[in-house]
């Protein structure tokens, strides 16, 4: 599986701070941070720990199976960032 960040993301990096495997990007110190509207989970590296979900004040992070219908495009968008 993998967790997915949707377009409710405010790029506050709360998830980045708790992710144990550093699979959420871009971080503020990375070149693409300003150019993207949201952060993305690397679906290959994500270990499904769920730590990013409760810290997200925008409720923008979902387990793959729980991504709302209207936000399904985010699944591909997260993967594409790392393609
Ligand atoms: Fe990182 Fe865990 Fe969230 Fe996956 S579920 S993005 S490993 S904090």
Task: Dump pLDDT digits (tens) for 29-73.
Answer: 999 999 999 999 999 999 999 999 999 999 999 999 999 999 999
* Ligand 1, CB cutoff 6 Å, lining residues: 3, 18-19, 21, 23-24, 41, 46-52
- Going by alpha carbons, the residue nearest to atom 4 of ligand 1 is 46
Terminal-residue alpha carbon distance, the chain: 17
Which residue reads 């701070």 in tokens?
A: 17
Q: Tell me whether the omega of the peptide bond preceding residue 23 falls within 30 degrees of 0, making it cis.
A: no
C-beta of residue 27 within 8 angstroms of C-beta of residue 16: yes
| Pocket residue to mutate for ligand 1, from 9, 22, 24, 66, most atoms within 8 A of Cβ | 24
pTM of model > 0.85: yes
- Tokens of residue 47, six digits: 């270990």
Distance CA 11, CA 13 (A): 5
Alpha helices in 1-83 (DSSP H): 14-18, 52-55, 73-81
């Amino acid at each position: 599986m993998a967790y997915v960040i949707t377009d409710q993301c405010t790029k506050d990096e709360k998830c980045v701070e708790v992710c144990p495997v550093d699979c959420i990007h871009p971080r503020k110190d990375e070149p693409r941070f300003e150019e993207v509207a949201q952060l993305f989970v690397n679906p290959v590296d994500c270990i499904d720990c769920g730590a990013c979900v409760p810290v997200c004040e925008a409720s923008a992070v979902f387990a793959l199976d729980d991504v709302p219908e209207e936000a399904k495009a985010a699944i591909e968008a997260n993967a594409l960032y790392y393609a």
